[in-house]
């Protein structure tokens, strides 16, 4: 097996472990403390969800979030729009991620913030809090 194939296999195992570990962690309206390397899933509405994790680096803590938006759920024309966001957060900094929403509904915003020595992930309807 080539080095590239081994590296790809290892990356696949890491991603699978992160996704599998996220099943027990669901961010809700309250802040959820996230452990380094552990994925957390946040429902952003009936057709959108996000998976976030972080790792520390010499220049700050690197937060990666993948958002999956579903169009035509449970139909023959179901499609997924997937976007990946990354940010390097220092203490006191935050990242806000939002997805489109229907008229008359409250927008759901994913707030990821670094508070001292921890990362908190929460779904909020008012990003100013």
**pLDDT, tens digit (0-9, with 9 covering 90-100), for 3-31:** 444 444 444 434 444 444 443 344 545 56
DSSP category for residue 9: H
Q: What is the per-residue pLDDT for 105?
A: 80
Residue 120, domain member (yes or no):
yes
CA 37, 115, 93, 31 dihedral sign is positive
Residue 129, domain member (yes or no):
no
Residue 69, domain member (yes or no):
yes
Residue 34, domain member (yes or no):
yes
Percent of the chain exceeding pLDDT 90 equals: 48
Residue 56: which domain range?
3-124
Q: What is the per-residue pLDDT for 31?
A: 64
Q: What is the per-residue pLDDT for 7?
A: 41
Average pLDDT over all residues of the chain: 79
Output 19 or 65, whichever has higher pLDDT. Answer: 65
Residue 81, domain member (yes or no):
yes
Find, among 102, 99, 98, the residue nearest to 111 by Cα: 98
What is the number of domains present in the chain? 1
């Amino acid at each position: 097996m080539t080095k590239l194939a081994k590296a790809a296999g290892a990356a696949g195992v890491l991603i699978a472990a992160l996704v599998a570990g996220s099943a027990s962690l669901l961010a809700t309206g309250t802040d959820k403390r996230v452990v380094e390397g552990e994925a957390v899933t946040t429902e952003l509405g009936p057709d959108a969800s996000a998976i976030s994790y972080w790792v520390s680096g010499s220049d700050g803590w690197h937060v990666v979030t993948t958002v999956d938006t579903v169009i035509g759920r449970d139909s023959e024309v179901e499609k997924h729009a997937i976007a990946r966001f990354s940010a390097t957060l220092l203490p006191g900094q935050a990242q806000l991620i939002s997805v489109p929403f229907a008229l008359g509904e409250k927008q759901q915003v994913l707030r990821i913030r670094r508070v001292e020595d921890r990362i908190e992930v929460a779904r909020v309807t008012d990003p100013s809090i």
